[in-house]
A and B are shown apart, each in its own frame.
Chain A
Amino acid sequence: MATGIKDKVAIIGMGCSKFGERWDVGPSELLAEAFEEALLDAGIERKQIEAAWYGSCSDPISVGNSAIPASMALRLDGIPVSHMENMCATGSEVLRAAAYAVASGAVDFALAIGAEKLKDTGYGGLPFVYKGTFNDLWLPLGSTPAGFAQLAAGYRARHGTSKEDLKRAMAHVSWKSHQNGMLSPKAHLRKAVSMEQILGAPMIADPLGLYDCCGVSDGAAAAIVTTPEIARALGRKDMVTIKSIQLAIGSGVESGTSQWDGSYVRTTRAAAQKAYAEAGIKDPRSELSLMEVHDCFSITELSTMEDLFVSPDGGAVHDILDGFFDRDGGLPCQVDGGLKCFGHPIAASGLRMAYEIYNQLQGRAGERQLSNPSIGLTHNLGGVPYLGIAAISILGLHGGK
């Protein structure tokens, strides 16, 4: 019987580049920025890394396909380096791969790194995605915001929420992340916006306005993992271990059957149940110290609060408007600004979320440090609500939860 990976893997080094419109550097330099910080943090040398997973989603505008360009960029000579792509959940996927390599006993040190150079497309928003020769013949075009905007229609129909109430709760989600982003030196967007600005912004995909959408950024993030025994031998205090990493991927049930009403993200619910079971969490609302969730759009964060079983069904609107997820609320969410303001270089985001939890747990979060957090959750969502890749990681202080 499988026992999961709880406390079998320790994170000993993490790095994160400055996110934003990095006109000054290319994808290789972004990778190096995150890599060097992680290596320094881990206190090991490049040659000690025995396996690496590299994530990127937009090959034409990044270093290129396969793992070779990343291996060249970081000079990872003669070790297995794998290229991973699983849409916006890629950053969590590379962490899972590296963690499994350590947990299996295959290697002592593994690297997980993700980077995206989105600002080399020449236009705003995410790059083109190709859906394969068959889907291309029938699936409508549609931007990522259009995929997530539909959650609002489904949510309103299910809960009878008025357009105005939902829009106001969504606006609070973005307002809060802008407040938090101001305290994050590496964040892409570091200015406050008013509720009026958010509510009055131009429409991107009804009802999502400009400020309901996250930043599209360049950036990279990395993690180096090992066993708790080695971490202890290296003298790590406040050791952060992985309590769980779980994924759930859509198989077409939402998009092809009547078993979904359009109001929630089914894959997030499935991944959350598995992640809480692996980590031994019974009541996330009271047990978790903080969360970094996939707020690609304000409506996604709103739905996620229910999909993670933190808010009751239909209760996220009130929790959000009550400030429960603000940095001084009951369960702070996106204390670093989230995708909304820290930015969203696709394959780096899952690792960026882990970076914030990791720093918060070790008391290294500077101005945005919360008091005595012991366990945090990352939620990283790829695809669209109805065909998604939900990745949930739970990280905690070793010996804690």
Chain B
Amino acid sequence: MSTTRTFGITGFGGYIPRLRMQRAAIAAAHQWMAPGLRSQAKGRRAFCSWDEDSITLAVEAARDALANRPREAIASLTLASTTLPFADLQNSTIVAGALGLAPSVRTLDVGHSQRATTSGLIAALRQSDAPALFIASDRPRGKPASSQEIGFGAGAGAFTLGSDEVIATLLASTSRTALFVDHFRSDGARYDYYWEERWVRDEGYMKLVVEAVRAALQQAGVAAAAVDHFILAAPFKGVASAVIKKLGIVPEAESDSLEADCGYSGAAHGLLMLAHALERAKPGQTLVLVGFGQGVDVLVLRTTEALASFAPRRGVGGALADGQNHDAYLRLASYENAIELEWGMRGEKSIKTALTEQYRSSDQLSGFVAGRCRACGTIQFPQLTYCVTPGCNAPRANFDPHPLFDEPAQVLTHTGDWLSYHPAPPLYVGFVQFEQGARLLMEMVDVGAVGLEVGTPLRMVFRVKDVDKTRGYPRYFWKATPLQA
């Protein structure tokens, strides 16, 4: 048990979308014009379902890190990403609402660089004032037939920071800025523009990164050979091994790039790898985390004895294992909005949000909060004016809040709807029965080949409910997904 008051990392977690596309299927689709992709055709890449984005990935990663720990004390939330859905509407506020954080939480979005996540984490660790939540989340898009499309993934890593039960402390950090444009994406552009890989490796990683890591290790008083975990996320292969070799760090210290079943998840990838490394680390080990983008960030971290007593809900390892195999390339292309399919007139339905109503009902909708009637005990969602139980009908003032997002539940009824417009047909919909009595009609997502049966166990996930394409406004709500993909 740590008794120091050092501020540091107190918990970690991660999330990777369940959907995994066979890279061979991507390569096969582009074989006619880009036969070279065959060299990248091994393994699977994670991809967002149509209703996942950097906000929903962030929520799931944070739930993994928070596990069953109380959330009231979290004083600040930082969300770092380069693919947040809103340019002017604080994305972290949506995440805070979904997580049920206190209204007093200080929220902040950071982005605009692959280095946003490491810079953000350094800032949050140095701030060291009160319990904080830091989430890195990204879903980078690769243009069809690019090496990015086949190599990219999606994911999020989340970290709780504080002074109690610290599992890793920051020994040192260094940052360098350099207008080294390995790639860029201008405002409003859909895809990145990349310069030649060889130049990026030789002038960028092998020089800028190596120098910054040396400086950080020196500042921390750690010898290169003493580094236990070296985490450098890069959008192409071989970079971390070359950097390690040049620095004199042992080859075994190179952290798993998660290439086999995830792919490079943009700005989030380093922190996703860090969460994965912490699952494997032992107390008293040294970790080096590098961020690269218009310069370099290096964090040198050391785990404490408290590491042994922390476990995320299922961790990055659990998320990696929970994959659902896909080989229809056009599904990926459609979910990434790379192609426009004919959805028929049913897709024309207007989805205009009454922002007034959204605000009024946010107390129950954001955090999936049912009401427990004090008069009869019935737990009900939604919370309407009077209790739903016949003969009780107590006014809503008698309800106590009862969040449903972590409650055990199962399928009561279900169908696969091929008629409704849905970006991932069929639309699975049915009644979800919660163990403690609440029930409601919900969309069911990420349903695998096994399908659904009455009694199939479910868990709740925060997703895009639908998108108002006319006004560019996604709406979020909770959906149910089978425990087994």
Contacts and interface: CB of A to CB of B under 8 A. Distances in A.
Interface of A: 121-123, 125, 128, 133-134, 136-143, 145-146, 149-154, 156-157, 202-208, 251-253, 255-258, 261-262, 386
A153 B413 contact: yes
Contacts of A141: 420-422, 427, 429, 443, 466
Nearest to B390: A253
A141 B424 CA distance: 13
Contacts of B357: 133-134, 136-137
Given A138-B465, A154-B412, A252-B388, 16 more contacts: A125-B346, A133-B356, A137-B358, A138-B365, A140-B441, A140-B465, A146-B419, A150-B415, A153-B413, A157-B455, A204-B417, A205-B416, A207-B415, A256-B388, A256-B439, A257-B389
Given A153-B454, A255-B439, A256-B440, A138 B382 contact: yes
A261 B413 CA distance: 9
B365 A256 contact: no
A150 B427 CA distance: 13
A137 B439 contact: no
Nearest to B436: A258
Contacts of B415: 145-146, 149-150, 152-153, 205-208
A142 B388 contact: no
A205 B418 contact: yes
A149 B358 CA distance: 30
Contact of B378 (A152, A203, A257): A257
B188 interface: no
B441 to A, nearest CB: 6
B408 to A, nearest CB: 14
Contacts of B412: 154, 261-262
Nearest to B383: A256
B456 to A, nearest CB: 11
Contacts of B442: 140
B429 A140 contact: yes
Nearest to A258: B437
Nearest to B433: A258
Interface of B: 344-346, 349, 351, 353-354, 356-358, 361, 365, 378, 380-382, 384, 388-390, 411-422, 426-427, 429-431, 433, 437-443, 454-455, 465-466, 475, 477, 479
Contacts, number: 137
A205 B422 CA distance: 13
B365 A251 contact: no
Nearest to A155: B413
Given A142-B427, A154-B412, A125 B382 contact: no
B439 A142 contact: no
A164 to B, nearest CB: 16
15 contacts: A125-B419, A134-B361, A136-B353, A137-B353, A143-B420, A145-B417, A146-B415, A149-B415, A150-B429, A153-B454, A203-B416, A204-B417, A205-B415, A205-B416, A262-B413
Contact of A255 (B346, B431, B479): B431
A206 B388 contact: no
Contacts of B427: 140-142, 146
A142 B429 contact: yes
B413 A206 contact: no
- Interface-centre pick from B415, B441, B442, B466 (highest chain A CB count, 10 A): B415
Nearest to A128: B349
Contacts of B429: 140-142, 146, 150
Contact of B417 (A136, A143, A157, A202): A143
Given A146-B427, A258-B433, A137 B417 contact: no
A140 B443 contact: yes
Contact of B345 (A123, A202, A208): A123
A104 to B, nearest CB: 29
A255 B441 contact: yes
Contact of A257 (B411, B437, B475): B437
Given A137-B475, A137-B477, A204-B419, A251 B388 contact: yes
Given A150-B413, A258-B433, A206 B440 contact: no
A120 to B, nearest CB: 12
A251 B351 CA distance: 26
A58 to B, nearest CB: 13
Contacts of B353: 136-137
A78 to B, nearest CB: 38
Contacts of A262: 412-413, 431, 454
Contacts of A134: 357, 361, 382
